[in-house]
Amino acid sequence: MEPVECRAVIQYLKGRTPQETFDEMKETYGDNAPSYDLVKRWHREFKHGRKSVETAPRSGRLSSAIDEASVCHVEAAILEDRRITIRQIAQDVKISTGSVETIIHDHLHMHKVSARWIPRLFTPFQKRERVKCSRMNLEMCQEDESKFFKKLITQDETWVHHYDPETKAQSM
């Protein structure tokens, strides 16, 4: 049973005692009925003049520390030192280690390989760098097309990536 529905029923039955309201809700909703203490508390709220069944907005701390600024700080810290630990990042950015893990895995799409953070897909930084390089190539091509294409080396479409991972002992 949703909290708003529960409060609406309690408000509708506010002419009765809390025990009568609880008994009727228990009979109708069975195991999904709210506890007696909850019925009693909301009964008191409506008796003292509360009209809304909606949850009142609360001031205070945000429910999540993950925002654009935190994501940017974490990304910058990782790009500066790929061997940085989650604890070090959490201390630098002043957020919890769980939030740092969420940012790294879900927002930056990175995972750790041999004590280094490696992007699974292109990060926003890498995408910006690619766009920047492409624009530079386009400008060079527009300046002198024939000179640009003479410098351009083309081959077949085979790409060979070389990746020589360090052993864990070397990366320490």
* pLDDT tens profile 24-66: 888 888 888 888 998 898 888 888 888 888 877 777 665 677 8
Whether residue 87 has pLDDT greater than 90? yes
User: Please, which pLDDT band fits residue 119 given cuts at 50, 70 and 90?
Assistant: low
C-alpha 15/C-alpha 23 separation (Å) is 14
Average pLDDT in the 4-9 region?
A: 84
User: Please, which pLDDT band fits residue 164 given cuts at 50, 70 and 90?
Assistant: low
C-alpha 20/C-alpha 63 separation (Å) is 36
User: Please, which pLDDT band fits residue 16 given cuts at 50, 70 and 90?
Assistant: confident
Most confident residue range from 84-98, 134-148, 158-172: 84-98
Per the prediction, the chain carries an average pLDDT of 81
Q: Summarize pLDDT for 128-161 with one digit per residue, the tens.
A: 888 898 898 889 889 888 888 777 766 555 555 5
C-alpha 129/C-alpha 137 separation (Å) is 12
The gap between the terminal CA atoms of the chain, to the nearest Å, is: 53
C-alpha 46/C-alpha 154 separation (Å) is 77
Q: Half-sphere exposure of residue 109, counting CA atoms within 13 Å on the CB side? A: 8
Average pLDDT in the 87-103 region?
A: 91
0.75 cut: is pTM over it? Answer: no
